Amino acid sequence: MTAPHTVPQLVLGLETSCDETAAAVVRRHADGRAEVLSSVVGSQIAEHAPFGGVVPEIAARAHVESIEAIAEAALTEAGVGYGDLSGVAATAGPGLVGGVMVGLSFGKAVALARGLPLVAVNHLEGHAVSARLGADLPYPFLLLLVSGGHCQLLSVDGVGACRRLGSTIDDAAGEAFDKIAKAMGLPYPGGPALETLAQGGDPAGFELPRMLLGRKDCDFSFSGLKTAAARLAEGVAGEAARRDLAASVQAAIAAQLAEKSDRAMKAYAGEHEGRSLRFVVAGGVAANRTVRAVLEQAARKNGFSFAAPPLAYCTDNAAMIALAGAERLAVGISDPLDAVARPRWPLDEAAATASPTHKAGRKGAKA
Ligand code: KG4
Ligand code: ZN
């Protein structure tokens, strides 16, 4: 623990949990306002594209090769040096552990060399605060976190205080986008490619299964949709039909996200009577315009305000990690230099332990 900060903090953020090597410098003012001085993202897409997905060993090696240059580029762009920093925040999980270790070790080295506090940040907490980057979004809020590895609904009450309302029981929404896109022969990463193909397509062109309709909880499931869409993709010929299939898949994923969010909003509103209701969507899938539109509609219908991070902060970046670290430092929380890299690290550890969505031996979402 360090003493709480009441002065502006300048935090270097590092993100290496998947296929982006990212570094950013964020200034958190004493009033809580966040200012992004730089956000550098080095993508490894070209290295993984020939394999149609992220190869963990290639990712880890690429992070090692570029982390120092990317951190220095972030400092240069921000017009500051290591000596000006008040803390270092590095993603410590969940993610591909070889990559996580690279960013976390680099962060530890900077912290040790410069005598700075280190914050070992949960990547999901980074996504959770991403809508607070450059926008006035106070706590508490209801969050839908949708990315390639995660799909969950969380009640976010403050720094490090999250309660899980629902989670995926199989694939994450971004994973469904990626796998269906791959089955349709689209390039990696599939989500954005599928959104482009869907433009002008008929979202009612193909009938796809609607999942878990009988269930009253806020959990998601995309594996049935994925299997049905992959089967349809085999028989689809011609550009118009491909556009229709892409539009139908996108609409089906968006509809499930909206349906479960609607249910969570109703429960959340009941628990927060008389308070401002805010709904936030974050993570890579939040970059999808159809997804944003249906979620915004659901929020308005339930009396919630709607917020989503700017597009650059939807997908993985280090500005969100720097801000999550700065918010922890501001309330006096930091981590020891022997903090470990964690492949799995649920935000709401209590709920995940009490009611696991994945039983031992089954593969599933990372948190
Ligand atoms: O947050 P993110 O960069 O990484 C994880 O933490 O997983 O999310 C990446 C995911 C990928 O599955 C990608 O296909 C998806 O977000 N994604 C999209 C779009 N942009 C990124 N999915 C649908 N439409 C998009 N425009
Ligand atoms: Zn992410």
C-beta of residue 291 within 8 angstroms of C-beta of residue 281: yes
In this structure, the number of other CB atoms found within 10 A of the CB of residue 100 comes to: 28
Task: Give the number of the atom of ligand 1 that is nearest the alpha carbon of residue 123.
Answer: 6
Q: What are phi and psi of 22, to 5 degrees?
A: -135, 145
Which residue, 334, 344, 365, is CA-closest to 160?
A: 334
**Domains of the chain: residue spans and CATH:** 9-134+313-354 (3.30.420.40), 141-308 (3.30.420.40)
- Spatial separation of the C-alpha atoms in residues 10 and 332, rounded to whole Å: 15
pTM of the model: 0.91
Best residue for ligand 1 mutational test, from 225, 285, 316 (most atoms within 8 Å of Cβ): 285
Written as tens digits, the pLDDT of the chain (367 aa) is 444 555 779 999 999 999 889 999 999 998 889 999 999 999 888 888 888 778 888 888 989 999 999 999 999 999 999 999 999 999 999 999 999 999 999 999 999 999 999 999 999 999 999 999 978 899 999 999 999 989 999 999 999 899 999 999 999 999 999 999 999 999 888 999 999 999 999 999 999 987 766 678 999 999 999 999 999 999 998 999 999 999 999 999 999 999 999 999 999 999 999 999 999 999 999 999 999 999 999 999 999 999 999 999 999 999 999 999 999 999 999 999 999 999 999 888 776 766 665 544 334 444 4
Among protein residues, the one whose CA lies closest to atom 21 of ligand 1: 284
Mutate which of 100, 177, 194 for ligand 1 pocket (most atoms within 8 A of beta carbon) = 177
Ligand 1: nearest atom to the Cα of 283: 1
Q: Go through 320-343 and write b for each residue having 16 or more CB atoms within 10 A of its CB, e for each that does not.
A: bbbbbbbbbbbeebbbeeebebbe
Angle between helical axes of 190-198 and 289-301 (0-180°, round to 10)? 80
How many Cα atoms sit within 13 Å of 321 on the Cβ side? 37
Cβ partners under 8 Å of residue 148, min gap 6: 18, 172, 174, 175, 178, 189, 191, 284
Strands 151-158 and 141-146: antiparallel
* Atom of ligand 1 minimally distant from the CA of 189: 14
For residues 229 and 317, give the distance between their C-alpha atoms in angstroms, rounded to a whole number.
Answer: 30
The type of residue at 39 is S
**What separation in Å is there between the alpha carbon of 99 and the centre of ligand 2?**
13
Tokens of 339: 């903090």
Q: Measured between alpha carbons, how far is 365 from 206 in angstroms, rounded to an integer?
A: 27
Q: Which ligand is nearest to the CA of 287?
A: 1
